[in-house]
Amino acid sequence: MDIFKSFRRQAGADTGRRAFLWRFGAGTAGAMASVAVTAKPAGAEDPALRAALLDEEKALRKLHRDFQQAIDEGRHAEVVALFADDAQVIFNGGVFERRDHGISRLFREHLPARKAGGSMQAAPGFALSPAQQHDRVEVAKDLRAASAVFPYSIQCGMPIESGNSLASMARLHGEGVRTWWEGGHYRVDYRKDAEGRWQISRLEYDTVVRADYRPGRSYASAISVPRLTTRFPQDLQGPDRLV
């Protein structure tokens, strides 16, 4: 059920804006094509099975809406509760493992400290194309497992690294964070628990583009952002593994 693919990225300097353009390898076209059409339940010739598959698809789409809404509203405990015990999340080159450990650390500490994860309007000129904005949900015929692709448009950020005393004071007050807009796709695997409830077993933030973006202004330029490089516990908010 694993439908995840990696993008190759290269950054080129934009000397006029101190920005970087992302270029993607040959795999990008195939990855984009895979999300261009909303899938229908495959092989569901039996009307009862087809109806069951459609019902499960609706349930999964609702679960995803609940996931994003909980992030937007800062209900981090509810976000974490949507994952299976042994789930994993792949974010910016890091793998956060297990619901009550790495995944809890990601959504309760890592993302909030970086003002990241909440929905954000696309930066001017950087919105995903109409084809890229299509989603897909595929449910297994046994109704116990599923996979999905959903587009995302969120704010991300990271603390400004500086020994300057003003920057240190800003971090103590929740400031001193460099933020940007990020667009791409959630690539998700689901499975049902023993009580028949859907849970997220694997979630990957598959980034297509990042842009320095200041809402209310026309300023927007493509940027490159360093991937995570330090694991937990050396970084108390870091991932368990690096991709």
* Residue 188, token pair as written in the block: 């998700």
Q: Point out the least confidently predicted range of 37-46, 49-58, 127-136.
A: 37-46
Q: List pLDDT tens digits, range 107-153.
A: 999 999 999 999 999 999 999 999 899 999 999 999 999 999 999 99
Strands (E), the chain: 9-14, 19-24, 83-91, 94-97, 136-139, 145-159, 177-192, 198-213, 220-222, 241-242
Strands 145-159 and 136-139: antiparallel
What gap in Å lies between CA 207 and CA 156, rounded to an integer?
A: 11
What gap in Å lies between CA 121 and CA 125, rounded to an integer?
A: 11
Q: List pLDDT tens digits, range 97-112.
A: 999 999 999 999 999 9
What are the residue boundaries of the structural domains of the chain, listed by start? 46-242
The confidence band for 45, taking pLDDT boundaries of 50, 70 and 90, is confident
Domain 46-242 listed as CATH 3.10.450.50: yes
The confidence band for 43, taking pLDDT boundaries of 50, 70 and 90, is low
